[in-house]
Structure 1
Amino acid sequence: MSLSSAEATEALEALRRSRAELAAAANCPPARHLAFAGLLGGLIAGQAAPLPWPLFVEALMLAGVALVVIWDRRRTGMFINGYRAGRTRPLTFTLLGLTLGLLALALWLRDALGIVWAPIGCGAVASVLAYFASAWWQRIYRRELEQLP
C-alpha cells in the first residue's frame, strides 16, 4: 500500500494540527507553576518542624501532587509526566539534583549547626527555582511539540 502525494500531505497536516492542539493544551496558567513550586519547596521547608510533623507535611505534599494531577486532567484531559523522554528530561534531572542538594544543605544546617529555620530558607529557594524551571519546562515541551519529527 502506498500513499499518494496528496494523502501524505493531508496526513502530515493532520499531524501538525494535532501537535498544535496538544501544545496549546499544555499551556499552563501561572497558578499551576506556583502549585508545583509550593509543593517542591514545601517538601524542604517542612523539615524545619520537629518530628513527627515533617512526615505529615510530606503526606500533605503528596496529596497536593495528586490534586495537581487531577487539576491537569480536568483542565487539559491529560497529565504530562515531568520525567518523560525528550528535551525536557535534562531540565527535570537538573531541578531534581538542585532540590536534593538544597534538601541536604537544609538538613545539614539544621542538624549539624542547629539552624532550625534553614529548611524554610532552602525551601524558599527551591520554590523559586521550581517556578522558573516549571515555566521553562513548559516552553521546551511546547516547542518540541510544534516541531515535526
Structure 2
Amino acid sequence: MSYINERERLDALEAIASANRQMAERAKAPGWYHPTLGVLAGGLLAVQELPTGWVFGYEALAVVAMGLLVAAYRRHTGLWIPGYRAGRTRWVAVGGAVTFVAVFLACVWVSRTTGVHGICALGGAVIAGLVTIKGRLWEKAYRRDLGVEA
C-alpha cells in the first residue's frame, strides 16, 4: 500500500482546483450567446399568433439558428457541456424548461380563448429575458459545481 505525504496531497488538491478554475473560465459563453438564445426562444412564442406558415417557417429558422449557436459556442470554448448535467446546473435547466413551457402554454391559451392579440409577443419578450437570465444563472451554477465560486 502506497501513502502520499501531506505536500503531495496538497499539491494534488491545488492541481484539481486549478483545473476547475481553468474549466470554468473556458466554458464561459461569449456575451452575445445568452441574449441570442433568449431571442430565438422568445420568438418561438411570439410567432404563435401569426398564420401557420409563418409559425412553421420561424420554427425551422430557429432550429437552424440554434444549431449554429451551439457550433459558435463550441468554436469559442472548444467544448460543449450538457445543460442537464448532474449538479446545480440541472436544477437551473429544469426550472428554465418548466418556466418556458408554463409561460408558452399560458400565453397561447389566453390568446386563443380570449382573442386578445399581442399576448404571445409579450410572452415572447418575457421568455427572451428569462432565457438570458437563466443562461447566466446556469454558468454561475456551473462555477459553483466546480468549486470556483461560492
Tell me the TM-score normalized by structure 2.
0.88
User: Could you tell me how far 1:121 is from its partner in structure 2?
Assistant: 0.7
Q: Is the deviation greater in 66-75 or in 138-147? A: 138-147
User: Could you tell me how far 1:81 is from its partner in structure 2?
Assistant: 1.7
Amino acid at match of 1:134: G
Equivalent residue for 1:22?
A: 23
Partners in 2 of 1:26 and 1:114 — Cα distance? 44
Partners in 2 of 1:32 and 1:145 — Cα distance? 21
User: Could you tell me how far 1:122 is from its partner in structure 2?
Assistant: 0.5
Partners in 1 of 2:77 and 2:30 — Cα distance? 12
Amino acid at match of 1:64: A
Note the alpha carbon deviations across 1:41-66, whole angstroms, 9 max, x for none: 11111212111221111111111211
* 8 Å contact kept, 1:43–1:57: yes
- Which ranges of structure 1 fall in alignment gaps of 5 or more residues? none
Amino acid at match of 1:52: G
Structure 2 residue matching 1:131: 3-state secondary structure? helix
User: Could you tell me how far 1:38 is from its partner in structure 2?
Assistant: 1.1
Q: Is the deviation greater in 9-18 or in 76-85? A: 9-18
* 8 Å contact kept, 1:109–1:116: no
Equivalent residue for 1:105?
A: 106
Partners in 1 of 2:147 and 2:27 — Cα distance? 11
Pairwise mapping of residues 86-105 of structure 1 onto structure 2 (< 5 A)? 86-105=87-106
Do residues 2 (structure 1) and 23 (structure 2) align? no
User: Could you tell me how far 1:3 is from its partner in structure 2?
Assistant: 4.6
Equivalent residue for 1:124?
A: 125
Do residues 58 (structure 1) and 59 (structure 2) align? yes
Note the alpha carbon deviations across 1:5-62, whole angstroms, 9 max, x for none: 2443333222222111100112223211111211221111121211122111111111
Identity of aligned residues (%): 33
Q: How many residues align?
A: 147
* 8 Å contact kept, 1:109–1:115: yes
Amino acid at match of 1:95: G
Equivalent residue for 1:145?
A: 146
Partners in 1 of 2:116 and 2:61 — Cα distance? 24
Structure 2 residue matching 1:29: 3-state secondary structure? coil
Partners in 2 of 1:62 and 1:129 — Cα distance? 19
Do residues 78 (structure 1) and 111 (structure 2) align? no
Q: Please report the RMSD computed on the Cα atoms of aligned residues, expressed in angstroms.
A: 1.6
Amino acid at match of 1:66: G
Q: 1:38 to 1:3 in 2, by over 3 A?
A: farther
Partners in 1 of 2:80 and 2:43 — Cα distance? 21
